[in-house]
Structure 1
Amino acid sequence: MNQKKARPTGRVPQRQTSASQGPDLVAIIRDFVRKPGFVPANKSELARQLRIPPDDRADFREALRKLIADGTLTEGRKGRLAPADRPGTSRLTGIIIFPARAEGRGHAWFIAEVPEAAALRGSAAERIHVPARYTGTALHGDTVTVEVSRRKVAPWERFDRQRQRDQADPAVEAHVCEVIGRRHQRIVGTYHAHPRFPSVTPDLPMLPQSLRLVNILPEAKAGDKVAVEITSWESRQQAPQARMVRVLGAPGTPGVDILTVICSHDLPLEFPPEVLAEAASLPSEVHPDMVKGREDWRNQPVFTIDPFDAKDFDDAIAVKPLPEGGWELAVHIADVSYFVRPGTALDREAKIRGNSVYLVDRVIPMLPEKLSNGVCSLKPDVDRLTFAAILTFNAHGVPKGARFTPAVIRSARRYTYEEAYERLQLTPDQIAGLPKHEASFAKHLHEAWRLAKTLRDRRFREGALDLDFVETKVILDQDGVPVEVRRVQNDISHQLIEECMLAANEAVARETKLANHPAIYRIHEDPDEERLMDFREQARTYGHKAGDVTQRPELQKLLRSIRGLPEEHALKIALLKSLKRAAYSADPLGHYGLAKLNYTHFTSPIRRYADLIVHRVLRRLLTRRKTEPGDKAGSTPGYGRLVEIARHISETERNAADAENETKKLKLIEYLMRLTKAEPEKTFEAVINDVRPGASFVELTAYYIKGMIKSEDLPRGARPTLQVGQRVEVRVVRVDPVRGFIDFTIPEGSGKNAVQESGARPSSRRPRTSREKNTQQGRRKRPR
């Protein structure tokens, strides 16, 4: 594998006077950013790399302004600076993406880290096409540098629907020059023993070749699953060389399938000794001296609502009606910042991990168990330290006031979502029949739902999108075998807690923004209108009427129209893919999906590092003092450092989500295999999501598992006509559990009966992108 080049380093030479520094500093920056291996950086990062003294920062900013003005530098998204033109080259840095099921053999797309720099290279599209012969040794998701060039476009390519759908400019293409960062540092595969040429067949579809091993761990046995790291890879015509780093075990052994995902995503299973030692030194319970100066809520009706199998309780609430109308909502969040101080081993490890990872069979926590499940967890009937957001609302759910304070609570009741839902269904007469303690909390629960419903109704009136849908939870036995798949509804018990947390997050974001203090924000940028219109076309193939979905009311109307229909899940997933991905940022850019100008993450510091940072910022604002030397408890990162942290934790969040989805899919496929093994002719209801020549794509409505119906797998003779949006009865033909592929067929003799009407009239059309529509309109004007 090509080794990642070290970033260029530079030091600004000592200069005598500020007046003489301008031209020298301009030249220093210009030379620095043109060095090989330079990665686009914002102003703070660039100043740190060049080691600009604080007294020279004003001159540094002035030099940057000159370089941007004369076209030497271009400023991209999030303030990242990149050279607009390097002598003799048009190289860009970014991510390479391969299409699904391509297995690394075909073409790919390049997405520039700084889109504005790509535009300067002549590409007007989001993606730049990478022909198969120019992908080099890059794998899906790798960070690469590419050479961008223009090419002559054949007439037929101007109407290439695939390229238009993928939003690639046919006149521009990229050639991979170097792989500077692997998405997967470790690769999992099957070990093949050989006296001279031991090898590993990787599970990763992007690596079709065998990997030649340069070492063998003594515990490795033929057929074992192992984790390896690529040490060298010259070209796709040669087998990569790899080093074996861990033996996971024999396939089929309980837990090995999950370990493969853990290793392939580089998830840490153990904490370093110094982190565990630091956690062990912390108290296991809250002592009286810890509560001094805190607001005492131990005698208030504070309660929690969490999943039945939860162990880390981040949040608790208390709600009471106000005499003048409206409500007071107290959102108590575990005060992790009291125990995890900046610069400690615990803090460094939490920052590296970024977040807890919730796999199908285990949790990989951000913090050691002593904290996450112990002294920080808001368990009932024990004293716990919290950071509280005390919010007041009028009768219409409009915020009237907010204050924030360290507090101490003793949670008086722990509800599971199922218990809370049952209590919320009770009538006043039924509540009166409960034991006194339970009746009291049932009333508090109903009052909390009245507030939450008011907040929820107001939020959707202001334009929030209903992107919630039914999810599945795989239940495993003690050996890790899936025995049940439960559907998890976003019922009113979930909505109650969700609205309370949203309100607290918004209030905290408003506080930090008004204070103009550097902080971490949760952002969801506005979507590309063209992609939304493409989603509209997809919705129309299901037979749904859709207006201008770039307007919130029309998009909300469409979402309401698909509620409860079989295709709801598929269409909401399609909408999510049309929207930009939520992320963390040091800039308060707002949240499109929630329709909020101010939003952050404050409510889960046990499992998210972003929330821990926000707690520290809020505490800093409350004290209204400058940090004294050596006082790490009050220190908070500056803007430049927060930009780095936001980028890192956004990446760890995506990595965790991918791992969570992979383990869930593994067990769903295993569950499906067990069902079909017990009953080979068993059929499942599915919805057609896409129809292509030679194959159709379906999703099982009960389990949300996706698969393919190949034409050759359909019964011979009168084959059914499959249309997007239709429900069909399917049977499993074959399963590839390693690569996650499932092939279905429609049982013979049920062709006509297999196709059922959906909630809307389906269409056989494949959705056309807005670019294709423009192309088709242009074609009609041409003479036949």
Structure 2
Amino acid sequence: MVVKDEALLAHINRLPNGRTTLRNLTRELGSKGMRREEVERSVQRLARKGLLVELRNNTFQLASKAREFSAGTLRMHRDGFGFVILDQKPEGLEGDIFINQDDAHKAMHGDRVLVRIGRIGRDGKANGDIVRVLHRANQQMVGEFRITRRGNFVVPYDQKIKQWIEIPEGMELPPPHVNPDRVGQTEIKADKVEDINGMMVTVEVLDFPDEDANGVGRVIELLGFEDDFGVDVEIMIRKHHLPHHFPQAVLEEAHSMKRDFGPAEWEGRTDFRDYDIVTIDGESARDFDDAVWVEKLPDQSYKLQVHIADVSWYIRPGSAIDEEAMLRGTSVYFPDRAVPMLPIELSTDLCSLRPNEERLVLSALLHIDHKGQVLAQDFTRGVIRSRERMTYTNVYKLLEGTPEEQADLRDRYAPLVERFELMKELALVLNRMRSRRGSIDFDLPEPIIEFDTFGEMVGVSRGPRNIAHRLIEELMLAANEAVATHLQAKGIPSLYRIHEQPDAKRVAEFEEAASKFGVSLGMGAVPVKKYRNTQSTRDGRKIRRDIVINNPTHTVTSKNYQKLVAKIEGKPEERIVSYLMLRSLKQARYSNDNVGHFALAAPAYTHFTSPIRRYPDLIVHRILTGMRFEEEYLKQLGEDTSFSERRAAEAERELVEWKKMRFMSDRVGDHFHAMIISTTKFGFFIELEELFIEGLVPIDSLPKDRYMYNEFSRKIVGERSKRAFSVGDKVQVALVKVDLYEKRLSFMLVTQ
């Protein structure tokens, strides 16, 4: 009999104090037909998750009843101390568990640990000490190889990992090998150890460090020197432990897939080849997994076809490609290259909806009225032949460009012009519908790294978000929501994209910060808790004040956020207030438990439109076409794919910030025009007008006066001159310092 984790937890919960030994557990469950090996695996799985706590001598207790112990993830600070982010917080704990510098060295940054929690103070804070490491996060790590008098070491690139890894003699040079999936790099070879001094390498940890000894490892890969072209991406891939090497079995499966299509593959599919269907993507896109078509009916309603690459037809559950795709969870997109979820034979060829080629699709067919409500929906497997591979730029120019641009493109795409206009019309209808129900639309720009023809970075600009982007976004949102609504109505276990209600404390903290800008969510919350906060002024004085924590969960809605977004649109404080609003919200994630999507104000939402690059979409395709999964499997898959998504986002963001810092490191002393985007007691943050780059002008660097921050006006004001700096002001600055570790830029004001 298969042991289900939830059943095992329920069994332990019925025992006194929720505690038992592994021996008793295997005997009790063995009498019910459960195999010892399965019981032990389930126990270890639950212990790694933190749902069970191993006390001593194979004694386990439910984490919810083990008040003294809890499991969590260690996050180290650059100064050597750390915090454990608990999976389940005991009552009264407000923050994370503080781990002092000596105790933090029992583990490494990112490790899952069992922590003993000390007394929780009146302020809701507590210290703790690490009892044991439950799971090592860094079986391999990337770092700089250094030859020292004490021996050879690898210094981890992630400076939150303080422990150096010792490399014994004979383990410094990896054996020659060929890695066909090395991202953008050829294999690096070295003849002697001295050649790799200062080089970035990947090390496999053989013995982990403890309180008394260094860790020991062996070099398994040479990446090159930090400033070499392309090494930055290689470092990020390995720092964030992104799977990037396709196993041989995966490559063989991809190479062996059939590439010629015919009537046999189309049998039972709806034939859409006569429709003028198009794809719309960015200029650099290579994988096209969605195509669209719109028609307007005499009664002013619309027919929308959203055709998605039928990846599930190619990838069979349990195949080598499927297992690798599940491990990766998502494609990762860096500024100049990608780490795909699927081999390129699938992602850019077989599954990609390339123009003028027959492609297999899974289609959402929606009938939408003039108010944006879905009147009917159907889902079918089909075959299409895309008419054009359109870009966002050309669609934007065609719809809203200059007369000259429109004339040229409308002549070039004459048979499709009416179709694009209908897409825009429907997109606006759908957007108004979402707006009426309270959907939040944060319009925050994304940084775009610019390269020259040699691949060298030459600048950073704001990513465009015009009508072409919004058009595709609205049509994809409609398809995703329709699929989720269909599966929910049928009662079919599925994987949803959920966005939960914001936490009361986060919302209250936002309200306090927003009040400084004279704005509020206006939800009329009821205060439920008060605590005393102490702050220090620049001259060392202490200010104590009572802060009220509200409970807005019954009153705050997405419409509160929506109205505030509209209120600050175009104002100098828009950027910072929008950022603060985002911080007050929870992260969207994947779950089998549908609790709706707060930001979209949608009762049910899922991801269906990108199966080439997201594993959850592939699972939803399988469910939509008849496969069924157990809730426990979907629950675990939701947790795993949410983690993969966060990991990819962190790697993408960090690389962009690193490239910005490297780009600016040669510009120390240069002058720039900038705008103040936020003010604080320690200075003001600016954004360069020529470049989409931010930095800080420290308050103590402002010349010719002593400046103070006025909390109520949100201005930095000179005591004698009364000169004031506030959000939205234009200033001229000079770059003073580039902090590569903190990824921060420091500027000084240029006297005007």
TM-score, length basis structure 2: 0.80
Partner amino acid, structure 2, of 1:730: V
> Where does residue 118 of structure 2 map in the other structure?
149
Aligned residue in 2 for 1:681: 670
**CA separation of 1:704/1:192 partners in 2, compared to 1, >3 Å: closer, same or farther?**
same
Q: Which amino acid aligns with 1:581?
A: Q
Residue 515 of structure 1: CA displacement? 1.6
Matched position secondary structure for 1:198:
strand
The 5-angstrom pairing of residues 652-663 of structure 1 reads 652-663=644-655
In the TM superposition, 1:538-549 aligns within 5 A as 538-544=513-519, 547-548=522-523
Aligned counterpart for 2:306 among listed residues 323, 331, 348 = 331
Paired letter, 1:611: D
Poorly superposed stretches of 4+, deviation over 6 Å: 9-12, 22-25, 35-38, 49-56, 426-437
Contact 1:432 1:439 in 2 (8 A): no
Q: Which of the residues 68, 72, 97 maps onto 1:90? A: 68
Are 1:125 and 2:94 an aligned pair? yes
User: C-alpha separation between the residues in 1 aligned to 2:29 and 2:225?
Assistant: 50
Aligned ranges for residues 463-542 of structure 1 at < 5 Å? 463-477=438-452, 479-542=454-517
Q: 2:145 aligns with which of 191, 194, 208?
A: 191
Structure 1 counterpart of 2:579, one-letter code = I
- The amino acid of 2:64's aligned partner reads A
The match for 1:257 is: 232
What's the secondary structure of 2:482's corresponding residue?
helix
Structure 1: how far apart are the matches of 2:652 and 2:114? 30
| Bigger mean CA offset, 564-573 vs 451-460 | 564-573
**1:733 and 2:689 are equivalent in the alignment:** no
Say yes or no: does 1:371 pair with 2:351. Answer: no
Is contact 1:234–1:240 with CA below 8 Å preserved after alignment? yes
In structure 1, what residue type is equivalent to 2:352? S
Q: Structure 2: how far apart are the matches of 1:24 and 1:362?
A: 44
Query: Given the alignment of the two structures, is residue 569 of structure 1 paired with residue 575 of structure 2, yes or no?
Result: yes
Residues 34 and 83, structure 1, Cα contact 8 Å, conserved in 2: no
Q: What residue number does 2:745 align with?
A: 742
Q: How far 1:266 sits from its partner (Å)?
A: 1.5
- Amino acid in structure 1 at the alignment position of 2:593: D
Say which of 113, 125, 134 aligns to 2:87: 113
1:96 alignment partner AA = L
Separation in 2 of the partners of 1:257 and 1:329? 43
Indicate conservation of the 8 Å contact 1:431/1:442, yes or no. Answer: no
Alignment partner, residue 658 of structure 2? 666
Aligned match for 2:326, one of 330, 351, 373:
351
Q: Does 1:417 align with 2:386?
A: no
8 Å contact from structure 1 (residues 136, 177) kept in 2 = no
Q: 1:537 to 1:702 in 2, by over 3 A?
A: farther
Q: Which residue of 2 aligns with 1:755?
A: none
What is the identity, as a one-letter code, of the residue corresponding to 1:251?
Answer: E
Offset at residue 192 of structure 1 (A): 1.2
Q: Which residue of 2 aligns with 1:205?
A: 159
Q: Distance in 2 between matches of 1:724 and 1:53?
A: 70
Maintained 8 Å contact 2:558/2:598: no
Question: Aligned residue for 1:769?
Answer: none
Q: Percent identity?
A: 33
With a CA cutoff of 8 Å and minimum separation of 6, indicate the structure with the bigger relative contact order: 1
**Further displaced range: 595-604 or 213-222:** 213-222
- What is the 5 A alignment of 1:50-65? none
Q: Where in structure 2 are the equivalents of 1:450-461 lying within 5 Å?
A: 450-461=425-436
1:193 shift after superposition = 1.4
Q: Is the 8 A contact 1:185 1:264 kept in 2?
A: no
User: Is 1:552 aligned to 2:567, yes or no?
Assistant: no
Match 2:597 to one of 591, 597, 602: 591
For residues 391 and 236 of structure 2, the distance between their equivalents in structure 1, rounded to whole angstroms, comes to 30
Q: CA–CA distance in 2 between the matches of 1:428 and 1:190?
A: 56
Question: For residues 51 and 650 of structure 1, do their structure 2 counterparts lie closer, same or farther at Cα, with a shift above 3 Å needed?
Answer: farther
**Aligned partners of 2:426, 2:638: CA distance in 1, in Å?**
32
Residues 581 and 545 of structure 1: CA distance in aligned 2, closer, same or farther (over 3 Å): closer
Using the size of structure 1 for normalisation, the TM-score is 0.77
Q: 1:734 to 1:50 in 2, by over 3 A?
A: farther
C-alpha displacement of 1:638: 1.5
Check 1:551–1:607 CA distance in 2 against 1; reply closer, same or farther (3 A cut): closer
Q: Post-superposition shift, 1:54?
A: 9.6
The counterpart of 2:416, out of the listed 411, 419, 441, is 441
Structure 1 residues 590, 247: CA separation in 2 closer, same or farther (over 3 Å shift)?
same
The answer to whether residue 653 in structure 2 is matched with residue 650 in structure 1 is no
Letter in 2 for 1:736: D
Structure showing the higher strand proportion among its residues = 2
Query: Relative to 1, partners in 2 of residues 1:37 and 1:358: Cα closer, same or farther, differing over 3 Å?
Result: farther
**Helix, strand or coil at the partner of 2:202:** strand
Q: Distance in 1 between matches of 2:293 and 2:520?
A: 43
Q: Give the equivalent residue in structure 2 for 1:6.
A: none
Question: Contact 1:380 / 1:413 at 8 angstroms: preserved in 2?
Answer: yes
> Contact conserved, 2:575 with 2:677, CA < 8 A, in 1?
no
| Distance (whole Å) between structure 2 residues aligned to residue 344 and residue 583 of structure 1 | 26
Contact (CA 8 Å) 1:104, 1:207: kept in 2 or not? no
Describe the shift of the 1:657–1:548 C-alpha distance in structure 2 as closer, same or farther (beyond 3 A). Answer: same
The equivalent position to 2:256 in structure 1, one of 281, 287, 309, is 281
* Contact 2:119/2:127 (8 A) holds in 1: yes
* Distance in structure 2 (CA, Å) of the matches to 1:37 and 1:26: 13
Change (3 A) 1:28 1:710: closer
Matched, 1:297 2:300: no
Contact kept, 8 Å, 1:469 with 1:490, in 2: the verdict is no
Three-state SS of the structure 1 residue aligned to 2:593 is coil
Give the drift of 1:27. Answer: 6.5
From the superposition, tell whether residues 124 and 529 of structure 1 become closer, same or farther in structure 2 (CA, over 3 Å): same
**Any idea what SS the aligned residue of 2:118 has?**
strand
1:143 is matched by which residue type in structure 2?
R
Q: 2: CA distance between counterparts of 1:23 and 1:429?
A: 69
Q: Residues 23 and 583 (structure 1 numbering): CA distance in 2 closer, same or farther, change over 3 Å? A: closer
The answer for the alignment partner of 1:165 in structure 2 is none
| 1: CA distance, partners of 2:630 / 2:131 | 35
Choose 266-275 or 388-397, whichever is displaced more. Answer: 266-275
Q: State how far apart, in whole Å, the 1-side matches of 2:254 and 2:30 are.
A: 35
* Structure-1 separation of matches of 2:17 and 2:320: 34
> Are 2:289 and 1:311 aligned?
no
- Structure-2 residue corresponding to 1:601: 607
Equivalent-residue separation in structure 1 for 2:420 and 2:397 (angstroms): 11
Which whole-Å CA distance do the structure 2 matches of 1:602 and 1:426 have between them?
Answer: 31
Which secondary structure does the structure 2 equivalent of 1:519 belong to? coil
Query: What SS does the aligned partner of 2:501 have?
Result: coil
What's 2:130 paired with? 176
Q: Is residue 342–residue 613 contact of structure 2 (8 Å, CA) maintained in 1?
A: yes
Counterpart residue identity of residue 580, structure 2: A
Aligned-partner Cα distance in 2 for 1:192–1:405 = 59
How many residue pairs end up in the alignment? 660
The residue type equivalent to 2:490 in the other structure is A
* Paired letter, 1:500: L
Answer yes or no: is the 8 Å Cα contact 2:672–2:690 preserved in 1: no
Correspondence for 2:357: 382
Deviation (angstroms), 1:547? 2.7
Deviates more, 1:712-721 or 1:269-278: 712-721
Question: 2: distance between equivalents of 1:653 and 1:212?
Answer: 33
Work out the CA distance in 2 between the residues paired with 1:708 and 1:139: 31
The match for 1:217 is 173
CA RMSD of aligned residues (A): 3.6
Q: Distance in 1 between matches of 2:18 and 2:203?
A: 35
Q: CA distance change for structure 1 residues 356 and 27 in 2, over 3 Å: closer, same or farther?
A: closer
The 8 Å contact of residues 97 and 140 in structure 1, kept in 2 or not, is answered as: yes
Provide the residue aligned with 1:772 in structure 2. Answer: none
